[in-house]
Structure 1
Amino acid sequence: MMQSSLSKSLVLGVSLLGLAFTAQAGSAKNGYDKQQVVYHVNNIHTATGALRNVKNHLNAIGDENIEVIVVTHSSGAFAMVDGSMGKKDSNGNVYDFRDTVASLANRGVKFQICANTIRGKKIDKNKVSPYAEVIPSGVAHVAHLQQKGYLYVKP
């Protein structure tokens, strides 16, 4: 009898701990938990889709329920460079990142660009988007954010 009571107490304690964690993380009204996410963009050819994923993610969770940081490096950093163009769409129009980055930044998305990439690819610092924060190392920063509990997304 004592073991059954102890087992019930243990199950109740674990359940309450789970509820406390959920309450601390917070829940969005649409059923998703609040989230902190790092999007890792290191390829210009996937950057258009990555930014579309960010927009869809915001729409699903709600801007107030998510913190998104887009870390760019290697050729993906060019999404943060004014005048850089992405893939052509089905109508033959070339994708310009500037408006999308501005729109997402206005919704609270933070953008970061790797200083190593700026140096290595000889990117003109005056052409880096005003919405992008320069960070020392893209890959190191992605790992740092993961250590802080950010969920990792690699489109």
Structure 2
Amino acid sequence: MYYDIVFHFDKGIDELNITISNIKNYYTGLPKENFKAVLVVNGPGIKLMGKESSFSPDLKKLHEKGLNIRVCNNAMIHFNLKSEWLNPVCHIVPAGLLELVDLQRKGFVYIKP
């Protein structure tokens, strides 16, 4: 089977807790499968991606499992956030929405917790 997946996060703390839980459950549910998992963050959700965020430990652990975390440069600019502020496991992409479109065109299943 084909299990590549993209999780989309763009809200607040409660939604990020759900998103992280969903991602953990995905990895737990597919221990023997080879898949790509991506988290795309845009909008106000970007404000929770700082290296000092309480979510940093969870994001680091998921990144170590293979989660690719991509954050929207447009959101970074909109909220006046600098790359030095960002969690180092995050990768800046030009536009989160375009990233979502591109991944879906490549066959990734879209999940918005």
Scaled to the shorter chain, the TM-score interval is over 0.9
Identity of aligned pairs, percent?
Answer: 23
Once residues 73 and 112 of structure 1 are traced to their aligned partners in structure 2, the CA distance between those partners, rounded to angstroms, is 9
Counterparts of 1:109-128 in structure 2 under 5 Å? 109-128=67-86
1:1-155 equivalent positions in 2, closer than 5 A: 33-45=1-13, 46-62=15-31, 64-84=33-53, 96-155=54-113
**Change over 3 Å in CA distance of 1:63–1:138 after alignment to 2:** farther
Rounded Cα–Cα distance in structure 1 between residues aligned with 2:85 and 2:31: 31
CA distance in 1, matches of 2:8, 2:36: 14
- Could you tell me how far apart the structure 1 residues matched to 2:31 and 2:87 are? 25
Could you tell me how far 1:64 is from its partner in structure 2?
4.5
Q: CA deviation at 1:34?
A: 3.6
Q: Distance in 2 between matches of 1:115 and 1:48?
A: 22
Higher helix content, 1 or 2: 1
How many Å apart are 1:52 and its aligned residue?
1.1
- TM-score after normalising by structure 2: 0.92
Residues 87-108 of structure 1 deviation map (CA, whole Å, 9 limit, x = unaligned): xxxxxxxxx1110000000000
Q: Say if 1:77 and 1:61 are closer, same or farther in 2 by CA, change over 3 A.
A: same
Aligned CA RMSD, in angstroms, stands at 1.3
Tell me the matched-pair count. Answer: 112
Which structure's relative contact order is higher, taking Cα pairs within 8 Å and 6+ residues apart?
2
C-alpha distance 63-109 of structure 1, shift in aligned 2 (>3 A): farther
What is the TM-score normalised by the length of structure 1? 0.68
Aligned AA (1:47): L
Amino acid corresponding to residue 106 of structure 1 in structure 2:
E
